[in-house]
């Protein structure tokens, strides 16, 4: 059954049609959180993921459910294809984006943080690595490594043979493994490092800040041309410390940080004079911060006020 198939037409009774609509709606609602998670993992944008879900819904409404053996797999297939289409559109959009581009942060529930596999796949650090894959590589990696979809199902979703999908998966995994953190860091370890960073920022402790930053730490800030941000990544502990304490001291802003959970990982909601300025996520290695990801673009901060439900199932 092809996802683009039109609904069966004929002399079906309105009640039967209503029953089919009800069944289709129930299936979509039951898997909606999964479909959103798939789309978000592929796109890094909640707004685009929502658009993909709308497109998936419209196509799902045209499917003859009698010919669908696995509704979950079929819905994931539609979502993947629509995400691939959207990825190509986003590529052109990112080429004109002002400054570095970071994924849209999502406030997530505690159960997401408790799922180590899901939390790692949603981390800013890993999602930035996924940005370096081709659209098809990203789709294959996400479906196989994150959602454990079979090679056969992935092949149907990306219009490749299972043999080709295995090769793409191997290539994508090797690429990601070479760029992801060398060792897994628990949420409690990340939280402890983040608390040290937070204390140094709020007390304007330069030395304390330097002590928690790795020598070659990289700061990526995303203002989207709306908020001021570094036009390119800032590398080095001293430069990063000046970015956070030097410039803010000049304007005498009162910096406060609220601990939160973003994309399943500990993060900070940073406020200047009480107003939300941005969301900060970190990458930790050897008890020091090696990566700082600061999203200031107001258009990307709309999903940090209420939790977004995400799931692998």
pLDDT of residue 36: 98
What DSSP string describes 138-195?
Answer: HHHHIIIIIT---HHHHHHHHT--HHHHHHHHHHHHHHHHTTS-SS---HHHHHHHHH
pLDDT of residue 8: 42
Residue 15 clears pLDDT 90, i.e. is over it: no
Mean pLDDT computed over every residue of the chain: 90
pTM: 0.90
Query: From edge to edge, which strands make up the β-sheet containing 265-272?
Result: 234-235, 213-222, 288-295, 275-285, 265-272, 255-262
Report residue 247's pLDDT band, with 50, 70 and 90 as the boundaries: low
Q: What is the pLDDT of residues 121-172, one digit of tens each?
A: 999 999 999 999 999 999 999 999 999 999 999 999 999 999 999 999 999 9
In DSSP terms, 307 is beta-bridged to: none
Report residue 92's pLDDT band, with 50, 70 and 90 as the boundaries: confident
pLDDT of residue 249: 45
pLDDT of residue 180: 86
- The mean per-residue pLDDT over the stretch 207-225 comes to 96
Q: Tokens 């609904």, residue? A: 7
Residue 173 clears pLDDT 70, i.e. is over it: yes
**Cα separation of 106 and 125, whole Å?**
14
pLDDT of residue 18: 63
pLDDT of residue 270: 92
Residue 14 clears pLDDT 80, i.e. is over it: no
In 178-245, which ranges are continuous DSSP H helix?
187-202, 206-212, 237-241
Which segment of 8-22, 75-89, 233-247 scores lowest on mean pLDDT? 8-22
**Cα separation of 272 and 23, whole Å?**
49
- The mean per-residue pLDDT over the stretch 79-88 comes to 95
Residue 6 clears pLDDT 70, i.e. is over it: no
- The mean per-residue pLDDT over the stretch 46-70 comes to 95
Which segment of 128-137, 176-185, 263-272 scores lowest on mean pLDDT? 176-185
pLDDT of residue 125: 94
pLDDT of residue 250: 47
- The mean per-residue pLDDT over the stretch 33-51 comes to 97
């Amino acid at each position: 059954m092809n996802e683009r198939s039109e609904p069966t037409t004929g002399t079906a009774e309105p009640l039967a049609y209503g029953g089919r609509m009800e069944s289709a709606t129930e299936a979509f609602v039951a898997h909606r959180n999964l479909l959103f998670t798939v789309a978000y993992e592929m796109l890094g944008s909640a707004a685009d993921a929502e658009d993909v879900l709308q497109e998936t819904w419209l196509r799902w409404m045209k499917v003859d459910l009698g010919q669908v053996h696995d509704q979950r797999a079929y819905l994931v297939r539609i979502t993947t294809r629509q995400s691939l289409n959207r990825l190509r559109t986003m590529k052109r959009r990112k080429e004109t984006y002002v400054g570095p581009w970071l994924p849209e942060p999502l406030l997530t529930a505690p159960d997401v943080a408790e799922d180590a596999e899901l939390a790692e796949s949603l981390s800013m650090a890993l999602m930035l690595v996924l940005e370096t894959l081709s659209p098809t590589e990203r789709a294959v990696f996400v479906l196989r490594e994150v959602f454990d979809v079979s090679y056969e199902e992935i092949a149907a979703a990306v219009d490749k043979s299972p043999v080709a999908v295995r090769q793409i998966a191997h290539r994508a995994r090797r690429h990601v493994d070479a760029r992801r953190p060398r060792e897994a860091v628990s949420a409690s370890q990340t939280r402890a490092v983040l608390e040290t960073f937070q204390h140094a920022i709020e007390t304007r402790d330069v030395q304390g800040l330097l002590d928690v930053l790795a020598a070659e730490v990289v700061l990526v800030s995303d203002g989207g041309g709306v908020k001021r941000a570094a036009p390119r990544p800032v590398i080095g502990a001293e430069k990063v410390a000046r970015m956070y304490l030097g410039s803010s001291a000049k304007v005498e802003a009162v910096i406060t940080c609220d601990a939160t959970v973003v994309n399943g990982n500990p993060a900070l909601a940073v406020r200047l004079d009480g107003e939300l300025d941005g969301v900060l996520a970190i990458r930790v290695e050897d008890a020091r911060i090696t990566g700082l990801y600061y999203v200031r673009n107001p258009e990307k901060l709309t999903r940090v006020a209420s939790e977004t439900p995400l799931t692998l199932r």
